[in-house]
Every structure is written in C-alpha cells, then in structure tokens.
Structure 1
Amino acid sequence: MQPGMKVTQLDCLCVILLYLLHTAGSEKFEVLGPTDPIVAVAGDDIILPCYLKPNISAEDMTVDWLNLDFLDGRVFRYQNQRIIRDDQIPYYRGRTSLFQEELWRGNTSLILTRVQGTDEGHYKCLIQSKSWYDDFTIQVLVKAVGSKPVVSIEGHREGGMGLLCETEGWHPEPELVWLDSKGVHLSAGPPEIHRDLDGFYRVKQHVIVQETDTNRFTCRVQQSRINEKMETEIHLPSEIFYTAPWRMAFIVLCCLGAIAVIGLSLAIYYMCNKKVHLKKESDELWEQNHELCEQKYDRTEELRILTSQLDFVNTNWSPDFENIRRHAVDVTLDPDTAHCKLILSDDGKQVRHGELNQVLSDNRKRYKNWSGVLGNVGFSGKFYYEVKVEGKTEWTLGVVIQSINRNESFIPIPNNGYWTVELKDEEYTANADSHVTLLLREKPLKVGVFVDYEKCQVSFYDVEARCHIYSFTDCSFTEKLYPFFNPGDSDSISLVVCPVDATD
C-alpha cells in the first residue's frame, strides 16, 4: 500500500504545478481610469480616459464603451481590429472614436465630440481578451449655460397682472425664481419644464403681480451645480393696472367696429369702379408681358455669352487639376468583394452587370444586397484614379471606408461611410446626406476621383471636358478608403479603370 500512496501524491503535485504554470502564463490585466467625474461643457469635445495596466496591446482585444443609463447602451465597439456600428446608440454615431494608433500601448480612451445634454451619465470601459476581461466606470457631467430670461406681459388676470418668464438651453435643469424690488420671493405657478432632443432644458413660469411702490419685478434663473445665475428686470407703468378688463374690451370692440365700417365702404367703392380698374389692369398686363418678352430675349443673349465664356474656362487645364492627376494610383478590382451578378475582366480593370447569379465563394468581404465591388487596395493619403463611363445609362463611383457592412441594404451617404456620385434615370446626383442634383452641361465620358485625406475632401472631375463636377468637404475619415464601383443594371456596358497620364 505504501508505494501506491507515493504515486498518488506525486500525481497530485504534478497537476498542481501544471495549473500554477498555466495561471502564471495567462494574460491578465487591469482596466484603469479617473476616479473623479469628468465635467464637460456642451458643444465641446472630451476624452474619457481608459487604459490597461500593464500597458499591453489591445489591438486584438474587444473594446466596449457602454452607457449604463440605457438598457442597450452601446456607445462604441472595437472588435476583430475594426469598428462595429450595428447596435450603436443612434445619437452617438459619428461622434465617437478611439486613438487607434495608441491601442498597441493599451490606450483605449474614448473621444466624444460635440457634447450634448443626453451624454450625461455613467460610462463603462469593458476590455476583453481571449482569456481575461476587466472594466472601469467613469461618470460624465454635462454643463450648459442657457439664455438670459425673457419676460413678457400676458395681460390682466384675476388678482393682478400676468407675467411670463422663459429661458432655454440649460443643463442640468435650472430653477426659475420671481422676486419683487426688495428681493423677496413671489408666489408663482409651477414651472413648465421641457427637454429637447439634445437633452437641454427649457423652463417657463407664470406669475400674477399686484401694483407696488416701484412696480419693478425680476425673474432669476439659477443652476447651483454649475454655479450660474442670470436675471431680467421688468418695470410696469402704473396705468397698466388701472385699465379694467371691461374697458379694454369696449375699446377693442370700438376699434373692430370702425374697421368694419371702413372695410364695407371700401368694398362698395371697389365694386363701383371694378369695370374701370379691370380695363386698366388688362392694358397694364399687356404692356408688362411685352416688356417681359424683351427682357427674356436680353437675358437669353447674356446667358449665351456667359456660357461661351464658361466653355472657354472649362476647356483649359488648370494647374491644380494637373497637379491632382500626378497623384494617380493603380486601381485593380477585388473579385472577393464583387456581388454575384457582377462580371469582372481577367485583368481586374473592367466590371459589368450580368443577368445570372454566379457561383462564388462566400466571404464577409462580398457585397450581398447591392451590386458593388471595391478596389483591392485601400489608401489614406492623396490619391486619384479615372474610370471610363462612356455609353452607360447608370453607374455609381466614389470611395468607401474599409469597415462598411456589406450584408445589409443601406443608403450610400457619408454617414454610412460612402462618398459617391451617380447617374440614374438620366439624372446626375451627389449622394450627400441630403442628395444634391448636379446640372452638367455634357455627359461625362470619363470620371476622375480625387481624395485628399488630410483635408477631408473627396472630389469628382469630368476628365474629357476638363472641369470640376462636385466635392464632398469636411468629411470624417478614421480608416483607409477603398475605390468603389457599381455599374448599375440598366445596361451591359463595362465600367473601365483607365491608366492616368498626367501629361495628356
């Protein structure tokens, strides 16, 4: 029995040692941040600090920022080295980002831009690796100083004169107080409180005052948490208190009666002279029509001259456009992203719409619900490429961000990561957040696309006519941009990626 017992103890000791070695080698970390609340001024940009200890890389981890005041309160998610926007709270879209270049050193801080009242709350920074997770909670307080109180007279009320005080744009909710000339609080009605979509408060309050020796009254708005106070004083003339309601009503009725008599007299006079006026107006309208015809001819001639001048300007290369073409890049279509009805040439330079679905490999990069295909390389500096669209009746061209969701239907606008121009139903359109109809003198045969990543601009050019078509400005780029192509389904002509010669 003694030898058997020694073997069992050794086995247990080995298991314990293996467990300790595994535990010591596992990836453990702490998530740290500030312990004091962060006070943000409405309209400003703030940073919610969060970082790992030790400073290990978070590039392959999942970074979640949650608003704990919401049931499904996802503010931001970074996972599998890309940004996930599927279940983000709508009013955080376009306002949140990470310092992605700092993830390698464990910096997972959140950038929140254009702070609004609804941003106040508790935020959790949750970091998960394959074998460990930790989190930290930060409180955000929002400060917004609203408008100076506006006081208006509502007229006679039972017991005195009615006054109304209003103010808006505050956060947190402010308090309204009515005072007499000696600073004594007046008894007022309950405040009416409203909150707009951005979370800012509007408050108004009614009060009934009686005549005093000064007839001066003050409405004060105050917010103790942010230590702000404003007030407006109003002086009421004594005469306003002595104008009895019945007297006011009598004066109003007399005025209305006088207006009615004058109006009736004018109507009778008008009826008597109607025929004369109609004849005179007919003659005047004929003369005006003749003058308008002459003006139309003059304007047409002026437009012809201006158009010829515009044609002269647009048919000459500008130095700026020639410099833009020097940033040309070699674009090849990526077959792994192409929709199943798109047919690509062997060299990856042409794409057209086919009638039948092709049997293609299934991958997360491929477009499922829109006939799109991307270039095989993304860019983040200045780049330019040209596409032949001659003969086509439908197309969409531009650039998109790398992390777009290609499995759902969507609107191709900047808020969804698309900056594109299209031809459809014989109408050229820039797909801005509010669509812009483009009035072009000629149909472009070749379209140039230029991106200046640092200036946040995407521009489109008619290469053959040598003129500018449209530019998206003040764009928000946080990742690489990929050329985007959609040949449409109304014709079978190919979109062709053309080589760019800066000297042609």
Structure 2
Amino acid sequence: MSHFCRELSLLLLLLAHAQADNCLTAIVGETVQIPCSLNTEESLKTEDISVEWKTSEDLIVHSFVKGQDYWTNQAPQFKGRTQLFSSELSRGNLSLRLSSVSLTDDGGYTCNYHRSGEPTSRQLSQMCLQIAGRYSLPVVQGPASPVFKDHEVNFTCKSTGGFPEPKVQWSVNKELLQNSRRVNTILNRDSRGLYSVTSVLTVNVTGDVSVTCTVENDRLREKMTSAEIHYLIKAEKESNGVSGGTKVVVVLVAVLVVLVGLLIVVIMVLKRRKRKHQRPRTPVTNKDEESEAPLQQTQTRTTLNS
C-alpha cells in the first residue's frame, strides 16, 4: 500500500511539472499575449465572427461580437486591460493581449470561436497562465565593526518584489553553504502579494572571509546573485586598544607638537630682547653737578676782578 502511495505521489508530481511546463509565464506589471488561432485559408469577415475569452472559473475576459468589442459582460478585474489584434482577425489570429498583469490573473484561459451560420461555437485553445515576479538584485550587508578571528558575525541578504517564494543560497569563500542551521530566512508579502526576503547568515570567522547570496526564482528559472563582499580579520589584541602603528604615529605627533611649542617660546623671547636693546636711552643729570655750576661761575668772576 505504501509503495502504491509513493507511486501515486510521484505520478502527481510529474503531472504538476508537465502542466507547469505547458503554462505561459507572465511577469507582474508587464503585458502578455495569450495565443489563439484558427487555421483558415480564406479571409474572414470580422462582422461574421464572434470570439469569447473566458477563465477556468467562467469569468468573461474579453468578448468580440460580429465586428466589435462587447464590454457589457466583462469581469471587472479585466476592464481596460484586454485587447484583440483587430488587424489580424481576418487571418484567423484571435490572440488576447492582457496588460498590467497581476497575481490574480494566474489560472486557465479558453478561447472560443463562433461564425455566423454555424450551429455552435468551438473552443480553439486552452492555455494555462502562471504569474511570476522578478526579485531585485540581492544586497548583502555585513558587520559594521571590525571582524576578529574566532568570533561569530552576521551577514544579511535582502531582495524584494518577487513571486513565488524564492530559494536562498549562501556561498562562503566561493563554496556553497550546506549547513542550513546557520541561516535564518524570513519572507514578507506586500499589498500586491509579492514577496520580500531577508536572510541572515551566521559565520564563525577563522580567517579572511568573503560571502555572496543567491535568490532563485524557479518559475522564471532565474538566479540573482549579490556582489561579493570581503572581510579581513583583525588580531584580537587590537580590539582592546590602539594598534602598534597607530601608537607610533600618536607619539610622533605629540613630540612634534612639543618641539613646535618650544620653538615658538624661543622666538618670542628673542623678539622681546631685541625690542629692549633697540629702545633709546634718556640722559641722566647729576644734581651735584647742577649745584656746582653756579659756584664755579662765581669763582671765575672773582678771579677776573682781582
């Protein structure tokens, strides 16, 4: 019984993959053309034909009745987004153009054709439409502080705007990481249903390290890989103070500051002495000499009179 269940599960899985391979993939926000054609050698008169596109839930996507578009019964979510190739209708090209694709457009679509004079309409095609969103280029951020040997550090990878859920893979030193216990990945969805992914990798650093992050979209068969970031480890002894080279620079700067200060002091002293020697001297008058001057004049007069 268990063998039968395994065989049945495998069969269902293969059918699911086959259906996915036959689906037409459309990108969110872009325009897709869903093909439908009528094999005919004659030129068709558009006023004689009717075309109706429907979803697998029987919602009317687009109606064309005897030469003109018919909007009355169109489902609201498709209004303003559908178009037939009017110039191609006469050659049997009944394809549908669907713009501004969203996740709600995912599903099955049928193309039905009817010609005036024929008793019933014919289904010309049945198409599976699957919707995907492209993830942005992943960006990896590492620790802001230096990375030291034998320490655990976290690297964070972020990517947005994708669908369906992605696969996230990390590479460390160019080797694919196999230990998923070192990775914590969180998914969030925005108002449009698109995913944003944040994945955190914890690494025990034993040497210089480089990391990349890859976000894979299976539906688009697309892989987006971040730029590689590199971290050089630092010695543990440098974490508790300034490195030896930095200390030498600090000492040299301090010595230079002291020498410049001394030089400024010497220059100021020399300038002060120079100004002192250049100052003019005032003659000094001896009071005794001033008092003796009249006496000498009196003696001179007495001598002349005698």
Task: Give the number of the structure with larger relative contact order, counting CA–CA contacts within 8 Å between residues 6 or more apart.
Answer: 2
Determine if contact 1:179/1:217 at 8 Å carries over to the other structure.
yes
Partner of 1:134: 122
Give me the whole-angstrom Cα distance separating, in 2, the residues matched to 1:48 and 1:190.
Answer: 39
More helix by share: 2
Say if 2:80 is the partner of 1:94: yes
Partner of 1:360: none
Partner of 1:221: 215
SS in 1 for 2:75: coil
TM-score, structure 1 length as denominator?
Answer: 0.34
Partner of 2:137: 148
Partner of 1:204: 198
Instruction: Output the amino acid matched with 1:123.
Output: Y
Instruction: Output the amino acid matched with 1:230.
Output: T
Deviation at 1:198, TM superposition (A): 4.7
Q: Tell me: CA distance 1:231–1:78, structure 2 relative to 1, closer, same or farther (3 Å).
A: same
CA deviation profile, 1:224-259 (whole Å, cap 9, x unmatched): 542433223333454699999xxxxxxxxxxxxxxx
Give me the whole-angstrom Cα distance separating, in 2, the residues matched to 1:243 and 1:170.
Answer: 43
Q: Tell me: CA distance 1:174–1:73, structure 2 relative to 1, closer, same or farther (3 Å).
A: farther
Determine if contact 1:160/1:209 at 8 Å carries over to the other structure.
yes
Instruction: Output the amino acid matched with 2:168.
Output: L
Instruction: Output the amino acid matched with 2:80.
Output: G
Give me the whole-angstrom Cα distance separating, in 2, the residues matched to 1:217 and 1:113.
Answer: 39
Determine if contact 1:73/1:89 at 8 Å carries over to the other structure.
no
Instruction: Output the amino acid matched with 2:202.
Output: I
Deviation at 1:164, TM superposition (A): 2.0
SS in 2 for 1:122: strand
Determine if contact 2:25/2:130 at 8 Å carries over to the other structure.
yes
Determine if contact 1:65/1:126 at 8 Å carries over to the other structure.
yes
CA deviation profile, 1:401-422 (whole Å, cap 9, x unmatched): xxxxxxxxxxxxxxxxxxxxxx
Q: Choose the corresponding residue for 1:233, options 228, 232, 252.
A: 228
Q: Tell me: CA distance 1:169–1:240, structure 2 relative to 1, closer, same or farther (3 Å).
A: farther
Q: Choose the corresponding residue for 2:37, options 47, 51, 66.
A: 51
Give me the whole-angstrom Cα distance separating, in 2, the residues matched to 1:241 and 1:77.
Answer: 73
Deviation at 1:216, TM superposition (A): 2.3
Deviation at 1:97, TM superposition (A): 0.6
Give me the whole-angstrom Cα distance separating, in 1, the residues matched to 2:236 and 2:73.
Answer: 62
Say if 2:168 is the partner of 1:176: yes
Give me the whole-angstrom Cα distance separating, in 2, the residues matched to 1:63 and 1:199.
Answer: 32
Aligned-pair identity in percent equals 27
Counting only pairs closer than 5 Å after superposition, residues 342-381 of structure 1 correspond to structure 2 as: none
Q: Structure 1: which 5+ runs fail to align?
A: 1-34, 245-504
Instruction: Output the amino acid matched with 2:225.
Output: M
Deviation at 1:103, TM superposition (A): 3.5
Determine if contact 1:51/1:109 at 8 Å carries over to the other structure.
yes
Partner of 1:113: 99
Deviation at 1:204, TM superposition (A): 1.9
Partner of 2:52: 64
Give me the whole-angstrom Cα distance separating, in 2, the residues matched to 1:177 and 1:132.
Answer: 54
TM-score, structure 2 length as denominator?
Answer: 0.52
Counting only pairs closer than 5 Å after superposition, residues 319-330 of structure 1 correspond to structure 2 as: none
Determine if contact 2:54/2:111 at 8 Å carries over to the other structure.
yes
Instruction: Output the amino acid matched with 2:201.
Output: V
Give me the whole-angstrom Cα distance separating, in 2, the residues matched to 1:39 and 1:236.
Answer: 40
Q: Structure 2: which 5+ runs fail to align?
A: 1-20, 146-150, 240-306
Determine if contact 2:137/2:224 at 8 Å carries over to the other structure.
no
Partner of 1:301: none
Q: Choose the corresponding residue for 1:162, options 127, 133, 154.
A: 154
Q: Tell me: CA distance 1:199–1:59, structure 2 relative to 1, closer, same or farther (3 Å).
A: farther
Give me the whole-angstrom Cα distance separating, in 1, the residues matched to 2:185 and 2:72.
Answer: 40
Deviation at 1:177, TM superposition (A): 1.0
Instruction: Output the amino acid matched with 1:148.
Output: L
Q: Tell me: CA distance 1:241–1:103, structure 2 relative to 1, closer, same or farther (3 Å).
A: farther
Determine if contact 1:66/1:74 at 8 Å carries over to the other structure.
yes
Determine if contact 2:142/2:155 at 8 Å carries over to the other structure.
yes
Give me the whole-angstrom Cα distance separating, in 1, the residues matched to 2:169 and 2:237.
Answer: 26
Say if 2:72 is the partner of 1:77: no
Q: Tell me: CA distance 1:222–1:128, structure 2 relative to 1, closer, same or farther (3 Å).
A: same
Instruction: Output the amino acid matched with 1:168.
Output: T
SS in 1 for 2:205: coil
Deviation at 1:149, TM superposition (A): 0.9
Deviation at 1:166, TM superposition (A): 0.9
Deviation at 1:167, TM superposition (A): 0.7
- CA RMSD in angstroms comes to 3.9
Deviation at 1:215, TM superposition (A): 2.9
Partner of 1:374: none
Give me the whole-angstrom Cα distance separating, in 1, the residues matched to 2:237 and 2:102.
Answer: 47
Deviation at 1:150, TM superposition (A): 1.5
Deviation at 1:183, TM superposition (A): 0.8
